Structure formats: structure tokens, C-alpha cells
Amino acid sequence: MEINLAQIIFQMINFGMVLAALTYLIYKPVLKLLEDRRKRVADAAEAAAAVMKEKENLEKVKEKTLSEASAKAKKMEDEIRKEAKADAKLLLEESKSEITAKEAKFSSELAKLKKEELKSMESEVKKAALTIAEKVLGSSIDAKKHQKLIDDQINEIIESL
Amino acid sequence: MLQIDIASAIALSDLQKKKLESSLQKKYSNKELVFDYQVKEELIGGLSVSVAGELHDASLRARLNQLANKI
């Protein structure tokens, strides 16, 4: 077998041209495609990382908001309880004061009523005593005693004039 | 003229009237006295004399009233 240098050179040029054509038509576009894909993947990963970071931030904000809301609700609850307790205490004190005042008024009225009743009874007793005395005296004084009494009283009146 | 009203539980005897009138006449010697006698059973006993509106009440009724006021 004889080596044909021209043939070899031709083949080499041919190969080079095919290689150049393939490089230009396939290799470079494929490389560009791969690069574009890598870039898209990287962008997507970056976007995903940003989204994850955003999600984490949102979670933190959510937790903070929930915590603040919970603390605020607790504070409001405490304040409401405190106010309710103070109101109840005030109401109780007012009720006690009112009851004390009513008791004092009732005692005063009762004492007044007792006094009036006692006075009325005393008056009734006086009237009864007077009536009894009148009846006893009226029935026990005879004409002789009447005359004697008048004689005595004439002297008494004359002395007093 | 001086009006003298005399009230008693029973009617006064003439002697009692005379005694009363003479005593009063001595007391008011410069005046003419006019006597008016009344019987008031409500006096219970004794008599009251009113000289020109001034009352001297010695009746048992008056004394009972005084007693009632003191009780």
C-alpha cells in the first residue's frame, strides 16, 4: 500500500473543513445553548434563593406580627380585667356606702318614730290618767266636801289677789 | 266698773258669795264691782275667779291640768 501524500493532505484539509464547519454549525451553538441553560438555571436558583429569603423574611414578619398581636391582646385583656376589677370595687364601695346611709336613715327614722310613738303614748296615758282622776274626784266629792273646798279656795284666791 | 266672773262646780252659798264679794270690794274699794256667777260642772270641784279678764283658777280641773302638764 502506497502512501499518497496528496490524498492525506486532501483528507486533512477535508477533515479540517468538516471540523471547522461542525465547530461553527454545531459545537458553538451547542456551547451557547449550554451556557444559556446554565445561566437560566443559575438565574432560577438565584430567584429561588431570593424567594426563599423573602419567604423567610415574611415568616419572621408573620411571627413578629403574631407575637406583637398576642402581647397587645394580653395587655388589653389585663387592662380590661384591671378596669373591671376597679369598677367592681368602686361599685361595691358605693353599694356599701349607700347601704350604710340607708341604715343610718332607717335608724334615724325608727328612732324618730319611736319618740313620736312614745310621746303619743305619754299623751294618751296623761289623758287616761286625767279622765280617771276626774271620774274618781267627781264621784268621791260630796256636797259637804265641795263646800269645804270652795271655802278654802275663796280664802286662797283672796290672798292671791 | 269692774266685771268679776265667778265659776264654780256647784252653786255658791249666800255666805260664800258674801264673803267673796266683801273681800273683793275691800281689794277694789274705789271701783264699782259687777259680779256674775256661773255653775260649771266641768270644773269638778272648787272655783275660778276672773277679775277684768285676769283669771284666778283654783278649780280641781285646773289643778289636774297642771298635774298632767308636769307628768
Mutate to test the interface with A, among B60, B66, B70, B71 (most CBs of A within 10 A): B60
Q: Using the beta-carbon criterion (under 8 Å), do B9 and A151 form an inter-chain contact?
A: no
Residues of chain B with pLDDT > 90, as a percent, come to 37
Q: Give the pLDDT score at A131.
A: 77
Region B52-62: what's the mean pLDDT? Answer: 87
* Torsion sign over Cα A49, A55, A58, A64: negative
Q: Is residue A120 part of a domain?
A: yes
Q: Is residue A44 part of a domain?
A: yes
B30 pLDDT more than 70: yes
Q: Which residues of chain A have pLDDT under 50?
A: none
Q: Is residue A2 part of a domain?
A: no
Q: Is residue A69 part of a domain?
A: yes
Q: Using the beta-carbon criterion (under 8 Å), do B68 and A129 form an inter-chain contact?
A: yes
Number of domains in chain A: 1
Q: Give the pLDDT score at A55.
A: 97
**Residue B20: Cβ within 10 Å count:** 23
Region B57-64: what's the mean pLDDT? Answer: 87
Q: Give the pLDDT score at A3.
A: 80
How far apart are the CA of A110 and the nearest CA of chain B, in angstroms? 25
Q: Give the pLDDT score at A74.
A: 97
Q: Using the beta-carbon criterion (under 8 Å), do B27 and A161 form an inter-chain contact?
A: yes
Q: Which residues of B touch A (CB under 8 A)?
A: 8-10, 12-13, 16, 19-20, 23-24, 27, 44-47, 49, 51, 56, 58-61, 64-65, 67-68, 71
Place of cell 289677789: A161
Place of cell 332607717: A106
B46 pLDDT more than 80: yes
Closest by Cα among B19, B59, B66, B25 to B39: B59
Q: How far apart are CA B19 and CA A12, in angstroms?
A: 196
- List Cβ neighbours of B7 (8 Å cut-off, separation of 6 or more): B37, B38, B39, B40, B43, B47, B48, B50, B59
Residues of the domain holding A130: 7-160
Three cell numbers written together for A70? 398576642
